[in-house]
Chain A
Amino acid sequence: MTSKALIKVENLTGGYNETVILKDVSFEVYEGEILVILGTSGCGKTTLLKHLIGLLYPFSGKIYLLGHDLLSLPEKKAMILMRKIGVLFQNGALLNSITVADNVAIPYEQHTNLKTDLINQLVRLKLKLVGLPHAAELLPSELSGGMRKRAALARAIALDPPILFADEPAAGLDPVTAASLDRLLLDLRKLLGMTLVVVTHELTSIKRIADRILFLDKGRIAFLGTMEQAMASESEPVKKFFNP
């Protein structure tokens, strides 16, 4: 690969307070690629994402995002950098007191000078793209888990961020919706040049979208490479994952 690395992680050791979860993790994510993070539940995938977006501060190591050293960036610059990043949290993290449409409108209202009319159109389009054309006026508590996830995805891609982090976007979805969600992710990558870091367990989905796979096991990288390489990997946890 000749493309440049948009995300660079060097010897990251991190976790919560006193608990070490991630041990000496190093990898790069290249511009325009889709990196899938795999691993058994509780192995630290969400924790890794939280480090990458600056919600957790590592014990040691370095993280570069879009060429900036995330850990030594002053707060204001970090806030501006965060606008270039879309995050889909594992539980959606929609604001519960406002409607789905108002949730998706937040990035537009906070970071652009667009007219209300255009914002409304954009919101409806984004909701349609994630397959929720009729949920605009509902409250998050009136959606199913999978719908909430997709509404949160619509919010995450509102401003077409160059980098999108998605924590289990397809969890709890039927195969048809999951497939159309994958197509959307591929379109975003192809048309807007988005770079995606996706946590998912769905094997069919991984086959459809993954350029490379990063396999985490007990906080360490057990494997990093393409799907074919993964299938042929000698690593025990990886073998077990593909042939349970």
Chain B
Amino acid sequence: MNAIIHKLPERITYYEVPSLESELKSLLKNPLKEIVLDFGEVHTLDSTGAVFIQSFANRLREADKQVRFEGMSANVSHTLQLFAPIESKPASKPAKENIFVRIGDSAHQWMSYFIESLVLFADIFYWAFVAFFRKKLRRRSEVINQGVQIGVNALFIVGLIAFLIGFILALQSAAQLRLFGANIYVADLVAVAMISEMGPLITAILVAGRSGSAITAEIATMKVSEEIDALNVMGVDPLPYLIVPKLYALLIVLPLLTVFANVIGIIGGAVIGVTYLDIDLLPFFKEVISVLRYKEIFTGLVKSVTFAVIILLTATYFGFKARGGAEGVGKVTTSSVVASIFFVIVADSILGLIFYFGGPSF
């Protein structure tokens, strides 16, 4: 007989399998076609051992060998039966698709994210519009409540950061302006920079971090704890009920916070102007007012309204995407803040370009 007889060890458990595997590998290379696995001495066989032996036997068969098991006790053969590996080719190894398919898939994925968020956008605005006219949907106290949470509670941090930004802007440019004896232009610089750029941007970033994350976490928690389902079952659409008041609140509060940030930022600049550049307060503010055209103010306003919509939309979108338990909430909240800040900055750049090149001139 031209058969290899391989005696298996007494114990085949998860502990012995790794070394047994390297031992058995030689069988794959052996030219003889017939292989006998001798179970005569096996007395301890666990599920890992059973699965390993049988899937190894299958590998041998795939390599065109004939495999027989011999000398099995009733117990061993029953164990092999109970722990027979599942031999549909596993989904565990997803075949690597070629690069174009993968790019196509991910583009497709992004497209569907984009469409989902467009639909959400349209829905929210539809409800925002309807809620304006339907008394039942108007939740004025909720708007005020949200407004306070988003706005009033952010006053201190927004003010502090705006002050520092105005202060730093003035300080950084002071040295250069001084060289040319152009001290007074520090007022122009700070005012234009704050109102058309820094004010809206930092306010939006802070609100995205504070309130965007809170909105995402709130919706995500409601989603994973099936509260959203409960609302739906009661026939209450979560969009007008939960989201629209927040939209109103943000649309009112973010521009107001931005104006506040602008004023404080300019005051920050004034501190440098007065103490370091020897400008008096009155000329400083006269200069500020003379340099501001409607265009800057309009730019700032358009930006902050756009940012408000972006923050709300991103927060809502990620909130509804939550799945799993508490950690699902954490995940979407982080993604939401990052995405929200990213989109705010992208929108800021686009609006900046539009107003710089095209834009209405007043």
Contacts and interface: CB of A to CB of B under 8 A. Distances in A.
A205 B323 CA distance: 36
A125 B325 contact: no
B326 A122 contact: no
Which of A97, A111, A142 has most chain B Cβ within 10 Å? A97
Given A96-B324, A187-B82, A114 B47 contact: no
A160 B47 contact: yes
B324 A125 contact: no
Interface string A77-107: 0000000000000000000110000000000
Which of A112, A124, A125, A128 has most chain B Cβ within 10 Å? A125
Main secondary structure of the interface of B (DSSP, over half): helix
Contacts of A129: 82-83
Main secondary structure of the interface of A (DSSP, over half): helix
B14 A114 contact: yes
A114 B79 contact: no
Interface string B1-34: 0000000000001110110010000000000000
A118 B324 contact: no
Contact of B83 (A125, A140, A142): A125
Interface string A118-132: 101110111011000
Nearest to A120: B92
Interface in B84-98: 84-86, 90, 92
Contact of A141 (B15, B51, B325): B325
A124 B84 CA distance: 11
Contacts of A126: 47
A96 B90 contact: no
Contacts of A141: 224, 323-325, 328
Contacts of B83: 125, 129
Contacts of A142: 323
B293 interface: no
A128 B85 CA distance: 10
A176 interface: no
Interface string B45-86: 011100110010000000000000000000100110011111
6 contacts: A97-B328, A112-B14, A128-B86, A142-B323, A191-B79, A191-B82
Interface of B: 13-15, 17-18, 21, 46-48, 51-52, 55, 75, 78-79, 82-86, 90, 92, 224, 323-328
